Amino acid sequence: MHSLLKRQIRKFLPADVAEMPELDFFLQAVSRSYQNNDDKLEMIQRSTTISSKELSSANRELLQKIKNQKKIFDSLSEVVRVMDHSENGLDDNKEEVGAIKIAARIEQQTKKILQLTEEKNDLLNDLEEQNESLNNYAHMVSHDLKSPIRNMHTLMSWIAEEEHEKFSEESKYNCSLVTQNLTKVDNLIDGILRHATLEAHEEEKTNVSLNELIHEIKNTIFIPENIEVNIEGSLPVLYKDKYKLEHLFKNLITNAVKATEGLLKGEIIIAAIEKKDYWKFSVKDNGKGIPEKYQESIFNMFKKLENNANATGIGLALVKKIVNIYSGEIWLESQLEKGTVFYFTIKK
């Protein structure tokens, strides 16, 4: 307590009381109470200041949450409006949609999605069972057909060899036709089986150098001396199934060889261009070309351009299926007597 205040208090007290020593203790107690009150007041002021800052921060966060919720509500309202428009043919004017309606519509659409998902899973399971049955059937038919065909082929070879001197030229020619047709049927069965079981064939993915793969293919198929198979630039290394890549390029190169075998100098050029998400390949030849009326249907099963004893009409259908497995596309450009270019893409 300030000394002036003490003096004023003593002035208004009786003289005997003002001089009492107990009065000092009383005044000190009053002074301490003032000090405690000041300290508490300061604490209250400090607490109020802190609470005000926290409240301001909380208000800002709450305001942001309200804005975010309003955006979500507006988005949901727009979704419901679009659903109503698509189902009931409403006009394009934006309508106010209540929260209850939004919840009901979302619940309704969720049930539809769950139902569609369940139906999709059932279809996938059914498709998987059908594919397995198809593969088993293809193997069974292949085995049951190929055995008698090969037996007939062997018997015809024996007959032609043993009765060679007795047969007339016409009989020899007919035996030759029988043998060719048996070979054709054998190749056809192989092609159908390969096409039917292609997706079921699982081979571990590896880094496949296409430069080396093309070299291997050139050594395994018959290429006449008048035909050159060249790589333009360099081909990439793909992390894929080698079995499918081999059939893909082998069929296209074989077709190009057939298209150029009648030329004095046939040329087949294989090239690749790198794009952002995929590789674009081309197999080009300078052969006889493909008539325009066949260009759209040439990838269909059993589609052939000529009556060749060894042709099955499955090769390009198999090529298209492999390209589809690799999430790609295939197309061609061709002019009669000028050549053909097959383009296809493979996703990286």
Query: What predicted TM-score, i.e. pTM, was given to this entire model?
Result: 0.54
Tokens of 21: 């020593």
Distance, CA of 198 to chain centre: 19
Residue with tokens 């390009």: 316
What pLDDT score was predicted for residue 92? 46
Distance, CA of 348 to chain centre: 10
The answer to whether 209 touches 237, Cβ cutoff 8 Å, is yes
What pLDDT score was predicted for residue 264? 92
Which has the closest alpha carbon to 278: 330, 316, 226? 330
**Residue 225 DSSP label:** T
**Residue 307 DSSP label:** -
- Please give the chain's pLDDT, 348 residues, in tens: 556 666 666 666 677 666 777 767 666 776 666 666 666 666 666 655 655 566 667 677 777 877 777 777 777 667 666 666 655 554 444 445 566 666 777 777 777 788 888 888 777 777 766 666 666 666 666 666 667 777 777 887 888 778 777 788 888 788 888 877 777 677 767 766 666 666 666 668 899 999 999 999 999 999 999 999 999 999 999 999 888 899 899 999 999 999 999 899 999 999 999 999 999 999 999 999 988 888 888 888 666 665 454 556 677 888 998 999 899 999 999 999 899 999 999 998
Residue with tokens 């050029």: 269
Tokens of 227: 């035909």
The answer to whether 298 touches 332, Cβ cutoff 8 Å, is yes
Q: Spell 138-163 as b/e; 16+ CB within 10 A means b.
A: beeebeebeeebeebbeeeeeebeee
d(C-alpha 208, C-alpha 220), whole Å: 17
